[in-house]
Chain A
């Protein structure tokens, strides 16, 4: 079911064929993505750029199983996401995808450690095992000493690193980041990007990132451009 990096060197981790996505607004159908073909290899670090409204987030949602295409095939790790039910998609996301959002999306009432622990509540791990995983993930992002702090007590950069710890704590194959540095200052953004490189090079995660920031895009192996729903 899951695809370890290198195991299927030939077939890409992510494979989109003829993918279109349109939203209905009342009677009007608004096309967002049109006939997108896309292959992303396991272990790649790719960045998507493009003007606002070009459909970058929509594409990420399809790749990460948050949404289904109007037509076309979205295959991730050999599974056709378009054919899965909501419940199956939930389980699949829990096991395979880690999310990093522009606004971090941490629960403000929970401590850093509790936020990181959230995805582990869906696993059969014991309390002690969960604690170990949480500590390890926070150590990776350099925040082992801030476990008991709640998001409002952390800087934006620190919050985003907590969010990254949360994204990797279940050890997913795929990390999805939608403008992860969009709300950060230069220095914090660099720290986050450094982390992404570590995850990419040392932990061999597949990273798909949307960004407006050319500095951020530079860190990726490959930058793709999306223009009015068309992949350039």
Chain B
């Protein structure tokens, strides 16, 4: 037998109580991880929104378009660093609703500059820019249909009638950010040339990168002022301002969630502490017998703390095992409402934090029972008939 085995056997003294305590701890750890992830989600959506990017669209409606001729004029607004545009294409692939994915036309060179979170192999960038009807597709989209560079993809136009065929020239991933990897982008030229005159040179929105994010509000109003009296007034908003505004509205809720996460740690502390206190009290005579034999206080304290640590590790381990499926389920339900969530929403750091919290809290929970185990004089402890 070893000291470790003694700890182990003592733990199993009351298996039902051990199981219940570990389960309570695990549920607590799981809830802690879940709540921390929810808080992380809110902030990561703000972090991924680009602070220095503005969207200029038609004030009339989100579906109305703007003349491409605005582009040079917006470029002259002080503080504008770069500009690109895009237009919603809305092509259909296949008949079923599930086959839907986003498609849009862009100006490849400026699009790649302004959306610098896009990750594309340099060779593919060149190929995409060289082909007047090349397509840049997202990683997930490519995976979904097994498409690769050189494949031809034909979309059924909805806004722009007819069949449109594009050559896949590159596959993009995103470093961070709100862009998904489920879309198809193709050059503006490919579409524009084939449009009747009255539909030519119209875009959905301009994306403006500002030199100084702190001045984005001023730039926004300058842009909108420029077109206030034109036939197509604009509305300009920053990506992050929109997200942060949303978050600050929720800040009280986020704080509440954080408080609850802390309260959960406190509950784990009390549950484990209570179990240990009971187990130590029941064993007063056993522990005093060990001390009579010559086990020093330090060892008896270790005995209790190791038990406590074991409970904490089991709780933490179990909690970490059951938390991800739960959080994934939650994200699957609310993810779309939150405007698409990053794929790595479940941070390893949060899981590690969950285990560390369980271990720290369990050790803390063991301190008082351990101290009580050795506070009583040996001779007195031996008199106790448990």
Contacts and interface: CB of A to CB of B under 8 A. Distances in A.
Interface of A: 57-58, 61, 64, 66-67, 86-87, 90-95, 99, 101, 103, 105, 107-110, 114, 117-119, 121-122, 127, 130, 166
Given A101-B382, A108-B13, A66 B292 contact: yes
Interface of A is mostly: helix
Nearest to B9: A109
Contact of A93 (B10, B293, B383): B293
Interface string B1-25: 1110110011011000000000000
B385 A90 contact: no
A90 B295 contact: yes
Contact of A114 (B1, B290, B385): B1
A108 B279 CA distance: 13
Contacts of B378: 66-67
Interface in B357-380: 377-379
Contacts of A117: 1
B242 to A, nearest CB: 62
Contacts of A105: 285-286, 289, 382
Nearest to A123: B294
Given A66-B382, A109-B9, A109-B13, A119 B289 contact: no
B285 A90 contact: no
Contacts of B2: 121, 127
B92 interface: no
B293 A99 contact: yes
Contacts of B290: 118
A90 B291 contact: yes
Interface of B is mostly: helix
Contacts of B295: 90, 122
B297 interface: yes
13 contacts: A66-B378, A66-B382, A93-B292, A94-B293, A95-B294, A99-B292, A109-B9, A110-B6, A110-B9, A117-B1, A122-B293, A127-B2, A130-B1
A130 B3 CA distance: 13
Contacts of B289: 99, 101, 105, 107
Residue among B2, B5, B296, B385 facing the most chain A CB atoms (10 A cut-off)? B296
Interface residues of B, number: 26
Contacts of B385: 103
A178 to B, nearest CB: 9
B104 to A, nearest CB: 69
Closest 4 interchain pairs by CB? A94-B294, A105-B289, A109-B9, A67-B379
A121 B291 contact: no
Nearest to A116: B1
B9 A121 contact: no
A91 B286 CA distance: 19
Contacts of B10: 107, 109
Contact of A109 (B12, B294, B296): B12
A87 B296 contact: yes
A61 B378 CA distance: 9
Interface in B287-319: 289-297
Contact of A121 (B1, B12, B383): B1
Given A66-B292, A107-B286, A109-B9, 12 more contacts: A67-B378, A86-B296, A90-B294, A91-B294, A91-B296, A94-B293, A101-B289, A105-B285, A109-B13, A110-B9, A122-B294, A166-B293
A129 to B, nearest CB: 13
Contacts of A110: 1, 6, 9
Contacts of A86: 296-297
Contacts of B379: 58, 61, 66-67
Contacts of B296: 86-87, 90-91
Interface in B12-53: 12-13
Contacts of A101: 289, 382
Contacts of A57: 383
B293 A119 contact: yes
A64 B10 CA distance: 27
Interface string B232-245: 00000000000000
A67 B292 contact: no
Contacts of A93: 292-294
B375 to A, nearest CB: 12
Nearest to A167: B293
